């Protein structure tokens, strides 16, 4: 077992270089950051830094409620699906040479028109172009009024606008830097770009002209800078954290999970003095998917699909393989923490029921030895091996096919795997995002329906929900749709993930949210 000693100390070497060193927030990004252009912010490693550099019309609080950002207010005309945003008039772009002698200028409504045109441009090929697929038109009425009209009602639209793809960027910077805007970002955010030595270190400095203040009127952000390192190994990242060289660490990796937390999900005693553990339900459902168009007769059998769902103990799996950092997925596909989750009856551990279903299948099909293959990557091999052991006790032979993550994605999208291990992390905080995986027009490659599941009642309810703005009515429909999916069993929900953060006690104000996004504008740090 990895053993380390915390060295959170105020050694002279750390303090002599800069009197404001203690106001620098440091974290490690073990994955590569490909771009600081918000048009390409498709994954957490890119979203985290661009959250510090850019703003959009709206933002989310830690409870995923829509809050004003550059738009200080808005109105919605339901009859025409028109959104009218009133913008603040005190938001300026980061000071930069692209603005000439004035060094900056105000962000205005026409900048959003330009930014939206840019992410929908085929020439740019932004992975976020889909965000505006429901939009019919948008226009700047004047500098502070922006109007967006949808093709049809889409109640989750404001949530989409909170995504980093929809950030405002200045045309001057795009014209000046061209493709190099990826490493020369200019936004309106609480921090501004300073330096980037790719795969080594990335530095942001405080934006002195940032528009937001706290409740006492103090200008944000509090920190002087953000420093990001790029150690690729999670165990090395943990050692840096344990030695006080970075201020926080996200997630729970097998290389250190038993060192830092107990099997019940508590901090190990030796870390309690210097570390805070923060957790919350994470909008991520881990699951096994059945490819419903598979020629495999076991996959086609509703009996076998349900037997697999009943045949293993999710609570035990989460306790021993995730150190309690997860919620057993026994209540549907929509994860806990999202409107639409409603403790519906899913699949508890019931080996007797599973045996009965397997026996029915054997009698109907004359197949005394049902066999299925699960495709997974190495990161989830332990979970799949646990399921394999449990199901083999019940009479289902499980073969595990371990492959690189890229191959798994490709084969899953191509319908080449009868069962695949997958996860779905919410792009925006609406259960429609999860239910879209089961809407039949979304069969891959046209959408995220990797299982090729089809149910006419589900499809009709899904379309109906798009026309309802009342969240309570929509939630009831979401719950009904989730129940339909669970009854048909095109998936095996495994667990709803937890966002896990280990934070130095020198740091305060670092919240946590169900999307596990990083926001640093309200973070404080002491020596």
pLDDT of residue 1: 44
Q: Is 262 within 8 Å of 323 (Cβ atoms)?
A: yes
Q: What residues does 498 pair with on adjacent strands?
A: 281
406: cis peptide before it, omega within 30°?
Answer: no
What tens digit of pLDDT does each residue of 37-89 get?
Answer: 999 998 889 999 999 999 999 999 988 889 999 999 999 998 899 999 999 99
Q: In what side-by-side order are the strands of the sheet with 201-206?
A: 24-28, 225-229, 201-206, 191-197
pLDDT of residue 102: 83
Interstrand relation of 24-28 and 491-504 (parallel, antiparallel or unpaired): unpaired
How confident is residue 264, by pLDDT bands cut at 50, 70 and 90?
confident
Cβ neighbours of residue 195 under 8 Å, at least 6 residues apart?
201, 202, 203
User: What secondary structure does DSSP assign to 13-78, as a single string?
Assistant: HHHSS-TTGGGEEEEE--SPP----GGG--SHHHHHHHHHH---SEEE-TT--EEESSEEEEEEET
Cβ neighbours of residue 62 under 8 Å, at least 6 residues apart?
511, 512, 513
Q: Is 438 within 8 Å of 488 (Cβ atoms)?
A: no
Cβ neighbours of residue 178 under 8 Å, at least 6 residues apart?
none
For residue 379, is pLDDT > 80?
Answer: yes
| pLDDT (average), residues 275-293 | 95
Q: Is 283 within 8 Å of 513 (Cβ atoms)?
A: no
User: What is each CA distance from 83 to 87, 109, 244, in whole angstroms?
Assistant: 13, 13, 47
Q: Is 50 within 8 Å of 36 (Cβ atoms)?
A: yes
pTM summary value: 0.85
For the chain, what percent of residues have pLDDT higher than 70? 96
Nearest Cα to Cα of residue 498 among 249, 252, 237? 252
Q: Is 143 within 8 Å of 71 (Cβ atoms)?
A: no
| φ/ψ bin of 88: left (φ > 0), alpha (ψ from -120 to 50), beta (otherwise) | beta
The full 3-state SS of 27-45, as one line of letters, equals EECCCCCCCCCHHHCCCHH
Cβ neighbours of residue 407 under 8 Å, at least 6 residues apart?
none
Q: Is 292 within 8 Å of 451 (Cβ atoms)?
A: yes
pLDDT of residue 19: 55
Q: Distance between CA 264 and CA 277 in Å, rounded?
A: 13
How confident is residue 15, by pLDDT bands cut at 50, 70 and 90?
very low
Q: Distance between CA 269 and CA 276 in Å, rounded?
A: 12
What tens digit of pLDDT does each residue of 321-334 get?
Answer: 998 999 999 999 99
| pLDDT (average), residues 374-381 | 94
pLDDT of residue 7: 41
Q: Is 497 within 8 Å of 335 (Cβ atoms)?
A: yes
What tens digit of pLDDT does each residue of 296-315 get?
Answer: 999 999 999 999 999 999 99
């Amino acid at each position: 077992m990895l053993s380390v000693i915390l060295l959170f100390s105020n050694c002279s070497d750390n303090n002599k270089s800069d009197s404001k060193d203690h106001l620098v927030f440091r974290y490690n990004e073990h994955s590569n950051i490909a771009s600081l252009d918000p048009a390409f912010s498709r994954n957490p490693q890119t979203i985290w830094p661009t959250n510090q550099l850019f703003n959009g019309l709206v933002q989310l609080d830690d409870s995923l409620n829509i809050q004003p950002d550059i738009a200080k207010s808005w109105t919605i005309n339901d009859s025409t699906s028109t959104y009218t945003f009133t913008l603040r008039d005190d938001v300026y772009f980061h000071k930069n040479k692209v603005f000439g002698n004035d060094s900056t200028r105000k962000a205005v409504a026409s900048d959003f028109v330009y930014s939206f045109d840019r992410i929908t441009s085929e020439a740019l090929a932004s992975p976020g172009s889909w965000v505006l697929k429901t939009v019919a038109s948008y226009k700047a009425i004047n500098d502070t009024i922006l109007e967006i009209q949808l093709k049809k009602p889409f109640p989750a639209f404001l949530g989409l606008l909170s995504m980093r793809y929809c950030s405002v960027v200045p045309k001057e910077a795009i014209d000046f830097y061209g493709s190099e805007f990826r490493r020369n970002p200019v936004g309106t955010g609480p921090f501004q770009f300073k330096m980037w030595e790719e795969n080594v270190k990335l530095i942001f400095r405080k934006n002195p002209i940032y528009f937001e203040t706290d409740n006492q009127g103090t200008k944000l952000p509090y920190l002087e800078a953000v420093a990001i390192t790029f150690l690729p190994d999670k165990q090395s990242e943990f050692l840096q954290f344990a030695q006080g060289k970075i201020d926080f660490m996200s997630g729970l990796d097998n290389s250190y999970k038993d060192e830092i937390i107990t099997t019940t999900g508590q901090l190990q005693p030796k870390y309690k003095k210097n570390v805070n553990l923060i957790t919350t339900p994470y909008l991520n459902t881990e699951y096994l998917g059945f490819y419903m168009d598979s020629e495999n007769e076991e996959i086609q059998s509703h009996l076998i699909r349900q037997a697999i769902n009943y045949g293993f103990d999710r609570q035990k799996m989460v306790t021993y393989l995730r150190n309690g950092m997860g919620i057993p997925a026994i209540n549907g596909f929509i994860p806990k923490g999202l409107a639409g989750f409603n403790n519906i009856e899913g699949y508890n551990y019931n080996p007797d029921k599973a045996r009965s279903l397997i026996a029915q299948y054997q009698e109907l099909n004359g197949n005394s030895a049902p066999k299925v293959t699960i495709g997974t990557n190495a990161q989830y091999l332990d979970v799949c091996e646990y399921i394999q052991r449990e199901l083999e006790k019940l009479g289902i032979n499980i073969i595990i096919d371990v492959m690189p993550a890229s191959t798994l994605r490709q084969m899953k999208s191509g319908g080449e795997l009868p069962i695949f291990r997958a996860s779905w992390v919410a792009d925006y905080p609406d259960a429609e995002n999860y239910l879209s995986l089961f809407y039949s027009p979304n069969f891959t490659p046209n959408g995220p329906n990797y299982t090729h599941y089809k149910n006419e009642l589900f499809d009709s309810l899904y379309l109906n929900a798009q026309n309802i703005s009342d969240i309570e009515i929509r939630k009831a429909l979401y719950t009904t749709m989730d129940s339909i999916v669970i009854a048909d069993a095109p998936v095996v929900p495994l667990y709803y993930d937890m966002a896990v953060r280990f934070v130095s006690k020198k740091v305060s104000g670092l919240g946590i949210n169900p999307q596990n996004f990083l926001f640093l504008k309200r973070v404080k740090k002491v020596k």
